[in-house]
Chains A and B, each alone.
Chain A
Amino acid sequence: MILSFNLNSKPITVELDDEMTPLLWVIRDVLNLKGTKFGCGKAACGACTLHLNGEAVRSCSYPAKFVEGKNVITIEGLGTKENPHPVQQAWVDEVVPQCGYCQPGFIMATAALLDKNPNPTNAEIDQSITNICRCATYYRMRKAIHKAIELMPKEVEEETQNL
């Protein structure tokens, strides 16, 4: 099938033999963006988390055909070294990663959470961020999430309220 969607704000068209191929492999192996990771293939670890129309989705278990016409953001499209997303900036400030393999998934999950809930409580963070990190960088992650809450642009919120 021919599949059209927006990837990191650019229109993309790909041809797939198998429309049920998980989106993860389309992103990684067809479109060659390697920042989204394979961890388990069963949506159990969150290493493959990306944003689909603003929602955090575990792409290893998401059939590619459902992405038609949607907006996909991966870690590569979230921010750059020159223009980091606040969550990435917080991750750098708190020196969170160790091996680093699971970190894009955590960063994407956190960015999606803060987009919806700019000021989550610890309990809400615990409930939303359920990815697995084997290096167990959780202690710094929590600090980074709170740092990101501070770094998130507040004026956007006010503008929305004024509308």
Chain B
Amino acid sequence: MAKKKISRRKFLVRGGLGTVGVVAIGTYLFRNPVRRKILEQVDGGESPYLGDGMEPMLWFEITKDNMVVLHSPKVEMGQGTFTGLAQMAADELEVNMKQISVVHAASMTGNMDNFATGGSNSISGLWQPLREMAATLREMLKIEASKKLGWVNEDMKVEDGIIFVGEKQLTFAEIAGGVTEWEIPDTPILKNIKDYKYIGKPLPRIDLEAKVYGDSIFGMDAEMPDMLYGAVVRPTKIGAKFISADISKAEGMPGVVKIIQEDDFVGVVATSFTASEKAKDAIEVAWEVSDNWQTNDIRELTKVGKGDAFILQKEGSELDEDDEVIAMEFTSPIGAHAQLEPNGVLAFVDGDKATLKISTQVVALTRKEVANRLNIDEENVNIIPTFLGGGFGRRLHTPHAIQAAVMSKAVGKPVKYFFSRKEEFQHDLFRPPTHHELKAKLDASGNIEYLEHDFSSGDVAIDSAMLPGFISTVVGTDVGAIRGGFCHYGSIPNLRTVSWHVDLPFATSWWRSLGLLANTFAWESFMDELAVKAGKNPVEFRLAHIQDDEKGKRLKAVIKAAAKKSNYQDEPINGRAMGFAVSTDAGTPCAQVAEVSIANNEIKVHKVTCAMDPGIAVNPDQVRAQCEGAIIMGMSASLFEKMEVVDGELFPTIYGPYQMAQLKHAPKEIDVVLLQGMNKPGAVGEPPLGPIGAAIANAVFRLKNKRLTDLPLSLT
């Protein structure tokens, strides 16, 4: 037994949970390293959404049929987290993959992540604590087995949820049955990584069948008896302020149960979705609109130099006034999340208690906001998370949960309320537009002597309900917009990176990979340009500017692996060219090579080679799946996607006009190479979204001798 990691007093044992639970075991562990880190950073400050970490949390149930149920504090939104967590728990607990299932922890059972699911840290954050928890439970079961049959710990062998001594055996369920007082040992030493049976194996997703046979698993599928349907009137113009509503036409419409008028919204409750939508459209609202924004206004606002500057990196000396510099500008547009499941929620407020079934990435924030609005205790609000029909950061704020709860309270029945697609597009919390200015000076031998990147972005983290406002103040800039903003070429002697923050008139926020997509597009297009100007191979050119420390070694390794696996060629062959780009995000380096051709000015991506080092890949097949998906999502954003602002309205408001990648656009070959340059799992879900935009643009340059500097890339 090793040093204490989980406090013994902080284990909690509950019996008889629901109808299946024989035993439920929880702890008060401070389990999230992100939360720990932030708490360290803001020690003493107010942290409204981080909680105090002292609530008991249910992690595992052992059922009568000897199954283990893991209550996940992280939500499953496609990233494969449930599968990875099951593998991690199964290996230390000594159950097989058929014996473990994973459910979303409801806020009332305690295992609530007080932060969020996001930032590509679900697996890496739970890597140590979950395995420790599982190992501790295994040892607890052994202690009870020894109490029951007088077995000696050293004689016991544990496999597939059964403890053996010679021929004799007891299942976990048999051991746990009837135990009311558990003895809790110090945290056991974890297994050697090479001895794991499940961790590191490409096992199928545990939610695979539910998703192929059409099970009801999403927030949109939630049901309660006597459920009604809600809708909320929303403005179409940016910055519109509610003045008054005329509900006379809507009131008597078929199916309408009640029109709800609050200070901040007008809602309809009806007997069906279509009835609620029709009544909503019949409500005439007067809005006050002061500005008539256009796309160009937003572009002007976003230019470097317009907002507040924050110096991220400053090394070496400044440029001299008469230095000859290479300078370029890049832009990225407003992007929509466009996740397929619209935002929605099913809420039932019954007296001073509320139950909400919802696709949310922020269980704790949803709970807090609903409790505050209803003026009831947070403990009386049960948030039951469901599978998310896409997250991508869109569900890091859930004001619709408040509205549904208010509507449910008004009618005394459960109310399901979700966005129409038009509302989803117009009231998205968009990926902010960006503008980038880069400058460099090459020395006589063609190496970078000076490099500067000024980038400007609307809010990502600033003003987000998820992060307490003081965090950005403490850090000094927008912690989301700067993702991908740091230069990872550590041997450049003179370097400046400056983040500019601007306030835009509409809400922008977290979009998978945050600033990474745009910042990498700018960095890596410019690096390619500099390599060309220096007359050097772009792969060699990059390698020459990377330092020799640990980070640098991993970065060089992915660059070399991508170049080798793709057989990178700097010259086009038979009308196809290769483009190279690399990024480092949340500690994970990722290099990509895109093979591109152009016909009738259309850019076609045939193949992408991706080399990434996420450390230990708990499930290599799902890490590959994340790479494949991120590459095509990033390609979609780089080739097609943009929102426009026309006369104060955000357009388009439907798929199609908001063009996204479809099957026909997807590369037919994606070759993923996984390296393991560290001995623990790192970030996976977002890092592979970084390089693809620049990789495509750099290939286009080799075909057309034309440097595309604006996303989405266009040759017309």
Contact = CB atoms under 8 A, between A and B. Distances in A.
Interface in B193-227: 204-205, 207-218, 220-221, 223
A88 interface: yes
B210 A38 contact: no
Interface string B389-423: 11110000000000000000000000000101100
B132 to A, nearest CB: 29
Contact of A101 (B212, B389, B662, B668): B389
Contacts of A40: 421, 654-655
B80 A42 contact: no
Contacts of A136: 628-633, 636, 661, 666
Nearest to B338: A134
A74 B216 CA distance: 13
A45 B655 contact: yes
Nearest to B79: A98
Interface in B633-665: 633, 636, 654-656, 660-665
B104 to A, nearest CB: 14
Interface in A73-93: 74-76, 79-81, 84, 88, 91-92
B340 A97 contact: no
B341 interface: yes
Looking at chain A's contact residues, the main secondary structure is loop
Nearest to A101: B389
Given A32-B223, A38-B220, A133-B340, A98 B663 contact: no
B449 interface: no
Interface in A1-45: 17-18, 21-22, 25, 29, 32-42, 44-45
Contact of B662 (A95, A103, A138): A138
Contacts of B523: none
A135 B421 contact: no
Interface string A38-71: 1111101101000000000000000000000000
A44 B342 CA distance: 14
Interface residues of A, number: 59
Contacts of B128: none
A22 B273 CA distance: 10
B304 interface: no
B388 A99 contact: yes
A141 B661 CA distance: 13
Contacts of B313: none
B99 interface: no
Interface string B72-87: 0000011110000000
A96 B664 CA distance: 17
Interface string B671-702: 00000000000000000000000000000000
B340 A132 contact: yes
Contacts of B275: 18
A44 B340 CA distance: 11
Interface residues of B, number: 64
Contacts of B80: 98
A142 B666 contact: yes
Given A17-B254, A47-B340, A101-B341, A95 B205 contact: yes
B625 A98 contact: yes
Q: Which of B78, B218, B342, B633 has the most CB of A within 10 A?
A: B78
B255 interface: yes
B213 A130 contact: no
Q: Which of B214, B420, B630, B636 has the most CB of A within 10 A?
A: B214
B78 A135 contact: yes
Contact of A100 (B211, B632, B665): B211
Interface string B244-267: 000000000011000000000000
A108 to B, nearest CB: 9
Q: Which of A21, A125, A137, A142 has the most CB of B within 10 A?
A: A137
A137 B214 contact: no
A99 B77 contact: yes
B56 interface: no
Contact of B214 (A29, A34, A135): A34
A129 interface: yes
B274 interface: yes
A21 B275 CA distance: 9
Contacts of B338: 132, 134
A45 B420 CA distance: 13
Given A17-B254, A42-B654, A92-B209, A132 B660 contact: yes
Nearest to A98: B78
Interface string A102-126: 1110010000000000000010011
B629 A102 contact: no
Contacts of B633: 134-136
A41 to B, nearest CB: 6
B233 interface: no
A81 B213 contact: yes
Nearest to A93: B204
A44 to B, nearest CB: 4
B660 A92 contact: no
Given A39-B421, A133-B340, A92 B212 contact: yes
B464 interface: no
Given A34-B214, A45-B340, A130 B662 contact: yes
Contact of B663 (A34, A80, A142): A142
Contacts of B661: 136, 138
A98 B420 CA distance: 23
A101 B390 contact: yes
A47 B211 CA distance: 13
Contacts of B212: 84, 88, 91-92, 96-97, 103, 107
A101 B420 contact: no
Contacts of B79: 98
A63 B577 CA distance: 49
A129 B663 contact: yes
Contacts of A129: 662-663
A132 B657 CA distance: 13
A151 B279 CA distance: 48
Contacts of A47: 340
Given A98-B629, A135-B390, 5 more contacts: A33-B214, A39-B341, A99-B341, A107-B212, A138-B662
23 contacts: A21-B272, A21-B274, A34-B221, A35-B216, A41-B421, A45-B655, A88-B213, A95-B204, A95-B208, A95-B625, A97-B78, A97-B205, A97-B212, A100-B217, A101-B218, A101-B340, A125-B663, A130-B662, A133-B340, A134-B633, A137-B625, A138-B665, A139-B668
The 3 nearest A-B residue pairs measured at CB? A35-B214, A101-B389, A99-B78
